[in-house]
Amino acid sequence: MSSINKKIYINQAGYLPKDIKTAVLPVNVMSVSVIDKDDKEVYRAKCDHFGFDKPSGDDVYHADFSEVTTEGEYRLVSGDYYSDKFCIGDSAYDKVFYDLVRAYYYFRCGMELKSEHAGKFTHMPCHTEPACEWFDHSVTKDVSGGWHDAGDYGRYVTAGAVALGHLLYAFVLFPKTFEKRDFGIPKTPGLPDFLTECKYELDWLLKMQKPDGGVYHKASTAQHADFVMPEDDLGQMYLLPVSSMAVADFAAVCALAYRVYAEYDKEYADRLLQAAKRSAEWLDNNQDFIGFRNPEGCGTGDYCESNDKDNRFWAYSELYASTGDCEYLNKAEKLSDYGFSKTDLGWGAVGGLGALAYITLRAEWRDESKAKEYGDMYISSAESLLQTANQSGYMAAMGERSYSWGSNMTLMKNAMIFAIADIISPNKEFSHSAKAQFDVLMGVNAMGISYVTGNGDSAYNYPHLRPAFADRIKECIPGMVSGGPNSYRNELYIRQFIPEGTPPMKCFADRTELYSVNEVTIYWNSPAVFVTAYLLDGKDGMR
Ligand code: 9MR
Ligand code: ZN
């Protein structure tokens, strides 16, 4: 059998016994056999013709094998066509969850990653020299630590805050799924591993705050490094000017983290809240939008946004949720009148994170009508995504135009919306669709690729990720979510690897060069962590 015949697409992480299990095939066959380890047929699923799927350009068939619930390792076969191996079992998602979280350990900047925790993917301490302000080199500061943003070694406040927003809300909503789990990272006494990892980034964020509450937009070298190990990137580290988005996102995530850490480490939590309040004061004193654009000579990520209303809304909402102080509530309310989305969870649009502060608010400060208003927005977003998913041959809540830079984040953000809507108003269609988006990420897609390194027989392996290239290890650092298909042809290399006119869902190639389709970032992993935690949380239920 040649790999060209690997045309039966399944979730390469595997399935929980109770999961709905639907294989997708872009080929016309009558039925598909589920074959166990000994090549014995245990079930035969008939194939239904779904029809033409525009985003992938595929004429698609579905084979449902949900009835197979016995633990084991399987493969699907039909004539010459076959699938990757997969398992069915209670622990099916454990490895991918472990790896997705551990990716953050591998993103760590500033410290040595020793083999005890990093296995073969070690690196020496990096980026530890003091940074200086871009416009005034005499102002220097230690801003070591935190996570590298992505395939590059920049560290950006808004990106970091949003990643933490997803991660901490996952913890708030599914604490049991995280609390007891060992993620194989250096321990902090009294703190779950997951919160130790998040604290690594929070500690760095605290260093990015100025005494007046302003927060530098980013710390990076002037240009992206060559494809070298982080410790070999020796360029001067700069602090780029304060932006109001950075200040607001910082205040928001520190206030949120206060609530999470208060139960474990009161002193640390109080420090976070003080920092959040100081930045909120800065926001009060600086009502104008202070955006960010790379100054001349700086070419690292700019994370430009066109307004900061949603960021400020997120900040005041979290501060209200952490203090019960109605002044914060009033400010958040005023901002909420601006027409930004209250369900977006992106690196720039953070209104959905602000809404979550209301939805998860403790009883005594909770305003039921507000919680309902924002909850209803999640529900109606989920309903409209459901329509898109129902029209997709791959069950993806992704239209033809959704495949832009970081499309796997869009996919996982949509899954988050299904998950949140399901929590607010339990609904099988939402939970099934959340799971279906996870299936897409893990291999039920037009490429038959698992977009998480190290997870699945057809996992991609060559991300645009400096250490993964420079370490000369063939196998990639596990647990990294690829940006995914991007039909907008944002870079020159695309021409070489993806022919013009390729259907959007197939605009992907597993090549290190392709930063606009195959990079990784901390805020592309985080929604995947959220979604996997949600699925694990419902493991004993019927999700
Ligand atoms: O994730 C960002 C994506 O949505 C934008 O389209 C793109 C171009 O502005 O930038 C992406 O962010 C990159 C950041 O600027 C620097 N680190 C790597 C990020 C992922 O490519
Ligand atoms: Zn570093």
pLDDT at 273: 99
pLDDT for 542 beyond 60: no
The pLDDT tens digits of the residues spanning 430-450 come to 999 999 999 999 999 999 999
- Report the nearest-CA residue for atom 12 of ligand 1: 301
Q: How many Cβ atoms sit within 10 Å of the Cβ of residue 360?
A: 17
Give the ligand whose atoms come closest to the C-alpha of residue 221. 2
The pLDDT tens digits of the residues spanning 271-308 come to 999 999 999 999 999 999 999 999 999 999 999 999 99
The pLDDT tens digits of the residues spanning 131-159 come to 999 999 999 999 999 999 999 999 999 99
Report which ligand 1 atom has the smallest distance to the Cα of 404: 6
Give the ligand whose atoms come closest to the C-alpha of residue 153. 2
Structural domains in the chain, sorted by start: 100-306 (1.50.10.10)
Radius of gyration of the chain (CA): 23
d(CA 475, ligand 2 centre) in Å: 21
d(CA 140, ligand 1 centre) in Å: 27
pLDDT at 1: 58
> pTM to 2 decimals?
0.98
CB of 242 closer than 8 Å to CB of 216: yes
pLDDT for 335 beyond 50: yes
Centroid of chain to Cα 450: 15
Q: What residue has token string 């964020």?
A: 205
Confidence of residue 4 (pLDDT cuts 50, 70, 90): confident
d(CA 316, ligand 1 centre) in Å: 27
pLDDT for 408 beyond 70: yes
The pLDDT tens digits of the residues spanning 352-404 come to 999 999 999 988 998 889 999 999 999 999 999 999 999 999 999 999 999 99
Contacts with 248 (C-beta within 8 Å, 6 or more apart), sequence order: 279, 283, 308, 311, 312, 314, 315
Cα dihedral: 248, 254, 526, 146 (round 10): 100
Phi, psi of 317 (to 5 degrees): -60, -45
Confidence of residue 543 (pLDDT cuts 50, 70, 90): very low
Residue at 402: amino acid letter: S
CB of 96 closer than 8 Å to CB of 108: no
Which positions are annotated as active-site residues?
152, 464, 510, 519
Confidence of residue 539 (pLDDT cuts 50, 70, 90): confident
Mean pLDDT of all residues belonging to the chain = 97
Mean local confidence (pLDDT), 405-430:
98
The pLDDT tens digits of the residues spanning 165-212 come to 999 999 999 999 999 899 999 999 999 999 999 999 999 999 999 999
Residues 538 and 543: their CA atoms lie apart, in Å, by: 5
**Beta-sheet pairing, 72-78 with 81-82:** antiparallel
Residues 269 and 258: their CA atoms lie apart, in Å, by: 4
pLDDT at 234: 98
- Report the nearest-CA residue for atom 16 of ligand 1: 301
Residues 306 and 292: their CA atoms lie apart, in Å, by: 9
Length of the chain: 543
pLDDT for 41 beyond 80: yes
Q: Which residues pair with 8 in a beta bridge?
A: 83
150 CB near ligand 1 (under 6 Å):
yes
Mean local confidence (pLDDT), 222-234:
98
DSSP, collapsed to helix, strand or coil, labels residue 218 as: strand
